[in-house]
Structure 1
Amino acid sequence: MRKRNHRSTASRAAVAAVTAAVLGVATLTACDASGGNSPGPKGSTAAAKPSPKPTPAWDTSPRSVAAVGDSITRGFDACTVLSDCPEVSWATGSDAQVKSLAVRLLGKSRARTHSWNYARTGARMADLPAQMARAGAARPELVAVMAGANDACRATAGAMTPVAGFRADFEEALRQLRRAAPKAQVYVMSVPDLKRLWSEGRANPLGKQVWKLGICSSMLADPDAMDAAATARRDAVQQRVEAYNEVLKDVCAKDRRCRSDDGAVFGYRFDEDQLSHWDWFHPSRDGQARLAALAYRGVTAKEPLV
């Protein structure tokens, strides 16, 4: 009897020890699996840290595209003189030579039914909120933006849109979009380098004659004048364009679903082949194709172009 009792007591002790060990391991495992933000033991004074909000992943293959902006996005003077030519638009056109952003992202067939162009020739940033409201109503997955050249291209340098007003209008444009399409992605193209445009176009006698009609006079008036006043005027326009581009980048960075091209369009070293041979100002078909390629590169990049 004593031996039997001794063995029973020993067995019960062994079982108790194993059970305690198993429970201890299970408890540790549960703590490890729950992570650092799990509640502490009852009565613990340690406060739980809130989990950070996840940043939404950028979709590199959106299935619908809307475009807003000005004459560049309407393909003005790319096909016929003094006319819109939306079929060659860098953003939504169907032209095979251009191969627009919409065609590159969606394919030719889907681009015909799932892309929309709300840009307007002559539009300035003040017109963008209304365009964005229309774009938002279509519920696109991506909105492509290119605006600001007309804010710098005025009759005089003094008539350019103030930077503060430019910022306020762009912020309002994004608010208008978010009211109708809160999850739409936005890709913002920078304002082109107008001073390079002057430098390239002034080498062509026909271009200089066309500019006398009043095209972007703040930059292009008296193209051969190199005196201090003309130089200061062109420098003022260039500085304003650079300020606009900083605004586009800064405002876009505050929207979690917005990307800017980080100056890719402004920095592109275009030449005469990329300019319309009717006005030596707007992009030609080739210029529209280059813009489409730049936009596609930015939209499909896994990380923003910085």
Structure 2
Amino acid sequence: MHGKQRNGRKRVRPFATVAALTAAVLLGQTAVTACDGPPAVQHGARPKAPRPSPSPTPAWDRSPASIAAVGDSITRGFDVCSLLADCPEASWATGTDTGVRSLAQRLLGAAAGDRSWNHASSGARMADLPAQMTAAAARRPELVTVMVGANDACRDSPDLMTPVKEFTASFESAMRALRRTAPKAQVYVSSIPDLKRLWSTGRVNPLGREVWKLGICASMLGDAEDLGEAAGQRRDRVYERVVAYNEALEDVCAKDQRCRYDGGAVFDYRFTGEQLSPWDWFHPGKDGQRRLAEIAYRQVTAAEPPA
């Protein structure tokens, strides 16, 4: 029990103090007298250290003034404008094509051409991301967009897919590379598209099936008309690996206060043949790039990250 303080208050009478001490002894506790000092500490107990104040989470800037993009052929606009060629002007992230209305155009307006940079590379896998992120960080962008991982799953066979552990380690390395030079840059991470939906959408198109025979994403799209058990199991392996990659993207992003994962929005998008390139029925066409830009813009400008 604590006695009353002396500051302007009536002093405690001696018999009241004795009574308090007696009660405390009967309860096996150390009494606290009416003095100016701090309360006594129980025998054997250690005073608790004050808890440090948690660092406030940085507010997400919904209108960044500059953008750098990293990733693979999707972000380079491959096969959007012509066969077997990049078309960065049609990129969902940094393109200048008004028919796409890239994320950069939606956020930066007329300044998009001067304040956005595309460091993605067609054919890139996650292992290539640290070098891309280093180049992007040198620009000191306020926002970095990331879309990569489809090529880690799209191999000649499922056995050649990038192990999840290596995929995760490369993404962590890429984030460290960014933070060394651009510690305050925000990062928007897109999920990897659903490659199994790509197969189910394109396999009914004769042209798509013929193009796929050239070896495009053979782990998923090879023998597109084969509905046998072995082919189904092969596709399921690729599907499950993409799901695991997306979980890795989400987990690594969650450890960085300035990173926002799309919550699986791109993976869940129910695209049709209208969103695919007429050249290869694999990469997004102009309409597909526009849909990716719409998704990214909603995610970047949302008041809160996806639940």
How far did residue 49 of structure 1 move? Answer: 3.8
How far did residue 52 of structure 1 move? Answer: 1.7
Match of 1:111 in 2: 112
Secondary structure at 2:299 match in 1:
helix
Residue type of the alignment partner of 1:69: G
In structure 2, distance between residues paired with 1:53 and 1:177: 21
In structure 1, distance between residues paired with 2:240 and 2:290: 27
Matches within 5 A, 1:71-220: 71-107=73-109, 109-220=110-221
In structure 2, distance between residues paired with 1:50 and 1:94: 48
Match of 2:64 in 1: 62
In structure 2, distance between residues paired with 1:283 and 1:58: 29
Secondary structure at 1:161 match in 2:
coil
Write the deviation string for residues 125-153 of structure 1: whole angstroms up to 9, x where unpaired: 00000000000000000000000000000
Match of 2:306 in 1: 305
How far did residue 51 of structure 1 move? Answer: 1.8
In structure 1, distance between residues paired with 2:177 and 2:53: 30
What number of residue pairs does the alignment pair up? 266
Residue type of the alignment partner of 1:215: I
Write the deviation string for residues 167-203 of structure 1: whole angstroms up to 9, x where unpaired: 0000000000000100000000000000000001111
Match of 1:16 in 2: none
Residue type of the alignment partner of 1:305: P
In structure 1, distance between residues paired with 2:170 and 2:290: 28
Q: Please give the TM-score of this superposition, normalised by the length of structure 2.
A: 0.85
Runs (5+) with no aligned partner, structure 1: 1-19, 22-41
Write the deviation string for residues 15-40 of structure 1: whole angstroms up to 9, x where unpaired: xxxxx79xxxxxxxxxxxxxxxxxxx
1:288/1:44 CA distance change after superposition, 3 Å: farther
In structure 1, distance between residues paired with 2:37 and 2:294: 60
Secondary structure at 1:186 match in 2:
strand
Which protein is richer in helix relative to its size?
Answer: 1
How far did residue 48 of structure 1 move? Answer: 4.1
How far did residue 54 of structure 1 move? Answer: 0.6
Matches within 5 A, 1:16-31: none
Alpha-carbon RMSD across the aligned residues, in angstroms, is 1.3
Matches within 5 A, 1:194-273: 194-273=195-274
Runs (5+) with no aligned partner, structure 2: 1-7, 10-35, 40-46
Residue type of the alignment partner of 2:181: A
Residue type of the alignment partner of 2:83: V
In structure 2, distance between residues paired with 1:134 and 1:77: 24
Write the deviation string for residues 62-92 of structure 1: whole angstroms up to 9, x where unpaired: 0000000000000000010110000000000
How far did residue 44 of structure 1 move? Answer: 4.0
Match of 1:28 in 2: none
How far did residue 94 of structure 1 move? Answer: 0.5
Secondary structure at 2:75 match in 1:
coil
How far did residue 97 of structure 1 move? Answer: 1.0
Write the deviation string for residues 270-294 of structure 1: whole angstroms up to 9, x where unpaired: 0000000110000000000000000
Secondary structure at 2:73 match in 1:
coil
Displaced runs of 4 or more, over 6 A: none
In structure 2, distance between residues paired with 1:49 and 1:289: 48
1:154/1:43 CA distance change after superposition, 3 Å: farther
How far did residue 43 of structure 1 move? Answer: 5.1
Q: Please give the TM-score of this superposition, normalised by the length of structure 1.
A: 0.85
